[in-house]
Structure 1
Amino acid sequence: MSEPTPAGVQAGLTARLGPPREREVQCANPAGLHRMAYTEWGDPDNPRVLVCVHGLTRSGRDFDRVAAALSDVYRVVCPDVVGRGRSDWLPDPNRYAVPQYVADMVTLIARLNVETVDWFGTSMGGLIGMTLAGLPNSPVRKLLMNDIGPHIEPEALRRIGGYVGERVQFATLEEGIAHAASLAATFGPLTADEWREINTPLFAQRDDGAWAFRYDPAIAVPFGTTTPEAAAAGEAALWHWFAAIDGPVLVVRGETSDLLSRETVARMIECGRSVQCVEIPGVGHAPAFLDPQQIALARRFFCDAGHAS
């Protein structure tokens, strides 16, 4: 018997679990209010919540397979970080930074009406989770950091800075999906259907018929305005928050990642309180967690007393 296609898998999950629920929550910024959209899976009354937060230019729909797979245990909530996906854009692009994102997530958790959450963060989503988890009285119980740490390799920052905020448009959705796949080629050897699955939510069709990324190009502004001194201070703060995390942490690294080095992972294990690490072979930044083995890794960490191996 042949393996089901990603579309077939998604159709089967929807038939069994029902479609994910699209929600939104109102958050505050210094200039006013903005909406943060999120997708919710599983029992809406389940007090056991897993928050899944995406990378810099991605969307919460990156986690559809993870959410569906873990929704028997969790109420899984996948936000579109402000400026991305279905969420509003901020009036001040300088607010596209971790402090604003953390504040938004605190508002989201209050909306969910739970005392604690577990956290799955890919890249930027891991930075947000790490900062929140390190705060006093944090609601974060367990933290999975997908290919991210307090130190980001400068070459990776230059690579990301070379494309983020680029104002590109495409004649067809398929062209956009292919372009996004080229930018994220290090996610792993994904099939055309898998790229279509995770990249389609990244695009919207404009009034003139062209397709463009949903994210606000102004998220690139902080890349161009951060001084070396500010970057160094920011990294020092991240190491401080990381060292303060009480709960179990699983650091997942892509074997060929240019963003998270093995040296950084070793330092995380040394300075953290309860840190495990798993390396995914044949993958760079960042493992896509579409593969059943990768999803099983997350399930073991979150559902089996924190054991990821």
Structure 2
Amino acid sequence: MRRRQPDREDIVLGLSPSGFHRIAYTDWGPLDDKRPIICVHGLTRQGRDFDHLAERLVAAGRRVICPDLPGRGRSGWISNPDHYALPQYCADMNSMIARLGVAEVDWVGTSLGGLIGMIMAGFSGSMVRKLVINDIGPFVSSTGLQRIGQYIGNMPALFKTIEEADAYFRKVLAPYGKLADEHWRHLAEYSVRWDDGKQGYVVLCDPTIAKGFRLPWFAALNRWDYWEAIKVPALVLRGKQSDLLSFELAAEMRKRNPLANVFQFDDCGHVPPLMAPDQIDVVAQFLLKDTISGLERADGYACEDLRRVGRVGGARLCR
């Protein structure tokens, strides 16, 4: 089945101490939406991961912007890998939002994209009005970082066929859970590009991006301050088998910010990929309603005990 393509594509220039770099983004839906939804991907991914979510949100009349962070997808690479870091990503996203000419945005952030959103929403004067954090928290475990770091370090330089790329991403992204074949192929096709000189498919990811996640530097950033400063509705998504957002950390996030709710998906780990209809439904309901009362009515338990949860659309909700 042929899927809808983005309505527009554009590029804005970001600036690091290394110089300027391109930030590419896809742009879906009506230009007159005064509060577009910004969807930011995980550490090694790119903006086309959100195509399925964007289609649903656009059908409801929303504008959706899906950037490729520097070093990923169609965006430029930063010559000094030390600058692949959260302050740079926040600055780049702020530049992109300024290009849109809007005063408010909603934010959906997967993994690294969630960390960026947490910081953007936690700053004084933030333009973020609703925040979805997908399987990440203010504290990031060394176990999860080591797994991702190993994955980046062992990333193949070249795939001879798209089928080889498909098989590789099914393996390294196995925590995504049981996706349909069309979803796996979508992930593979937008993660690589054909290179005539090398006669194969190269990965659209700078392997040096992991340098910005060196544990001593990363651990020194107190992201709890940003989380506790967020004054807008937030929805935290968690995969039950996640190695980056633990059961206990999700409960602590709910405790330390009463505007947050937590929704747990039972059939995946890090991260819920937001491609299947049941996962998209949860995000769309939160973003498209004036309040999240519909979700709140589905369950009456407190999030301090995440084990006491009710079933909602094949997933689990706690608040």
Per the alignment, residue 212 of structure 1 pairs with 202
Is 1:200 paired with 2:189? yes
Structure 2: unaligned runs, 5 residues or longer: 296-319
Distance 1:188 1:156 in 2: 16
Say yes or no: does 1:120 pair with 2:131.
no
Cα 1:23/1:267, change in 2 over 3 Å: same
53-62 vs 149-158, which deviates more?
149-158
- Residue correspondences, number: 291
Q: Within 2, Cα distance between the matches of 1:20 and 1:196?
A: 22
Letter in 2 for 1:57: T
Counterpart Cα distance in 1 of 2:266 and 2:103: 36
- Kindly state the Cα deviation for residue 246 of structure 1 after the two structures are TM-superposed: 0.6
Tell me what 1:4 maps to: none
Partner of 2:39: 52
Q: 1:221 aligns with which of 211, 219, 225?
A: 211
Q: 2:147 aligns with which of 153, 159, 171?
A: 159
In structure 2, what is the Cα distance between the partners aligned to 1:125 and 1:73?
Answer: 23
- Determine which of 99, 114, 133 is the counterpart of 2:121: 133
TM-score after normalising by structure 2: 0.88
Aligned to 1:248: 233
Residue in structure 1 matched with residue 300 of structure 2 by the alignment: none
Aligned equivalents of 2:191, 2:7: Cα separation in 1: 17
- Mark the runs of 5 or more structure 1 residues left unpaired by the alignment: 1-6
Residues 80, 56 of structure 1: alpha-carbon distance in 2 compared, 3 angstrom cutoff:
same
Which range moved further: 285-294 or 82-91? 285-294
- CA–CA distance in 2 between the matches of 1:263 and 1:302? 26
Query: Is the CA contact (8 Å cut-off) linking 2:6 and 2:26 kept in structure 1?
Result: no
Over the aligned positions, Cα root-mean-square deviation in angstroms equals: 1.4
Show the counterpart of 2:280.
Answer: 295
Following TM superposition, by how much is the alpha carbon of 1:32 offset from its aligned partner in structure 2, in angstroms? 1.6
Query: Deviation string for 1:214-246 (max 9, x for gaps)?
Result: 1111112234x542xx34321xx2111010001
Asked if the contact 1:165–1:219 (Cα under 8 Å) also holds between the matched residues in 2, the reply is no
Q: Any conservation in 1 of the 2:35–2:103 contact (CA below 8 Å)?
A: no
2: CA distance between counterparts of 1:164 and 1:79?
A: 21
Residue of structure 2 equivalent to 1:3: none
Structure 1 residues 266 and 254, CA, compared in 2 at 3 Å: closer, same or farther? same
State how 1:247-286 maps to structure 2 within 5 Å. Answer: 247-286=232-271
CA contact (8 A) 1:170 1:210 kept: yes
Shift of 1:290: 1.1
Deviation at 1:171, TM superposition (A): 1.1
Amino acid in structure 2 at the alignment position of 1:40: D
Deviation at 1:19, TM superposition (A): 4.2
Could you tell me which amino acid in structure 2 is paired with residue 36 of structure 1? Answer: I
The secondary structure found in structure 2 opposite 1:285 is coil
Q: Secondary structure at the match of 2:251?
A: helix
Q: Percent identity?
A: 43
Say if 1:200 and 1:209 are closer, same or farther in 2 by CA, change over 3 A.
Answer: same
